[in-house]
């Protein structure tokens, strides 16, 4: 399948994030502070709902727990949150031109919201394997609205999250034929569960309840690809002993 065809859904999604962000930035200039804070709380509640709905899809509690533990060790060891915020800070210096643009927070939060869900994984695989972009088109519509609301309250950093969408979704689509054997229904369900738990953590940040470094937990999302097959092997071995 031609590369451009595999990336069609991703490119449309990137476009809607950019367009939504621009709309949000234009709206944000005319929003009073009280309304902006209210919108942020509303986003927090909606984000919590998305996370709670997704985490109920998990099929193997042990795999989810191990993924979070091992993923946290990896993420904290690399301090991914610090690295991403440094990237946001670098962008702030380059784009502010003497002023100060709040880029890092919007960049991190929007990237997490747009990229850790099941639609990202399933949609990108469908795009890369069979050229079906339906799921990513639906996600693009949702991200258009989310980007507009996010950008109206969190600023221009939301626009830069389009780069993360391009790299992650595009990467999965291009590598679909290689990683598809690792992504059966159980693996996708557990990846969705882990990612949704992180979305719940993100909602706590948005609501001002906590200040969690969610980026440091993101490696956990991909570990079910390794842990689910390993769990099946161990379970089968134990079954032969009993």
Q: Express each pLDDT in 66-93 by its tens digit.
A: 999 999 999 999 888 888 777 766 666 6
Which one-letter DSSP state was computed for residue 219? G
Q: Are 215 and 86 in contact (CB under 8 A)?
A: no
Let me know the angle formed at the C-alpha of 111 by 108 and 117, rounded to the nearest 5 degrees.
130
Residue 31 has pLDDT above 80, yes or no: no
Copy the structure tokens of residue 202.
């993100």
Alpha-carbon distances, residue 143 vs 19, 102, 112, 163 (angstroms): 10, 21, 12, 14
Q: Are 152 and 30 in contact (CB under 8 A)?
A: no
pTM of the model: 0.77
Residue 35 has pLDDT above 80, yes or no: no
DSSP SS3 for 103? coil
Render pLDDT for 122-166 as a digit per residue (tens, 0 to 9): 788 888 888 889 889 988 988 898 898 888 888 888 898 899 899
Q: Number of helices (H) and strands (E), helices first, in the chain?
A: 12, 0
Residue 30: per-residue pLDDT: 67
Copy the structure tokens of residue 242.
């009993």
Segment among 43-57, 97-111, 152-166 with least mean pLDDT: 97-111
Copy the structure tokens of residue 135.
């799921």
Backbone angles phi, psi at 2, to 5 degrees: -55, 145
Let me know the angle formed at the C-alpha of 7 by 129 and 118, rounded to the nearest 5 degrees.
65
């Amino acid at each position: 399948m031609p590369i451009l065809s595999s990336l069609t859904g991703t490119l449309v999604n990137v476009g809607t994030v950019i367009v939504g962000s621009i709309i949000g930035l234009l709206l944000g200039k005319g929003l009073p502070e009280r309304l902006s804070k209210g919108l942020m709380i509303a986003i927090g509640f909606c984000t919590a709902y998305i996370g709670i709905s997704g985490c109920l899809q998990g099929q193997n509690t042990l795999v989810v727990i191990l993924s979070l533990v091992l993923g946290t060790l990896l993420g904290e060891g690399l301090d991914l949150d610090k690295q991403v915020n440094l990237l946001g800070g670098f962008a702030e210096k380059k784009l502010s031109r003497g002023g100060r643009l709040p880029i890092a927070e919007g960049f991190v939060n929007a990237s997490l919201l747009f990229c850790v869900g099941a639609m990202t994984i399933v949609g990108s695989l469908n795009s890369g394997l069979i050229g079906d972009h339906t799921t990513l088109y639906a996600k693009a519509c949702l991200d258009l609205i989310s980007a507009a609301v996010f950008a109206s309250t969190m600023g221009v950093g939301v626009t830069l999250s389009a780069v993360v969408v391009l790299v992650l979704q595009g990467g999965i689509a291009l590598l679909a034929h290689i990683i598809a054997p690792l992504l059966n229904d159980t693996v996708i369900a557990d990846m969705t569960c882990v990612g949704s738990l992180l979305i719940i953590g993100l909602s706590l940040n948005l609501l001002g309840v906590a200040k969690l470094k969610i980026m440091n937990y993101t490696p956990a999302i991909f570990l079910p690809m390794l842990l689910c097959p390993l769990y099946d092997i161990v379970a089968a071995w134990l079954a032969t002993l009993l």
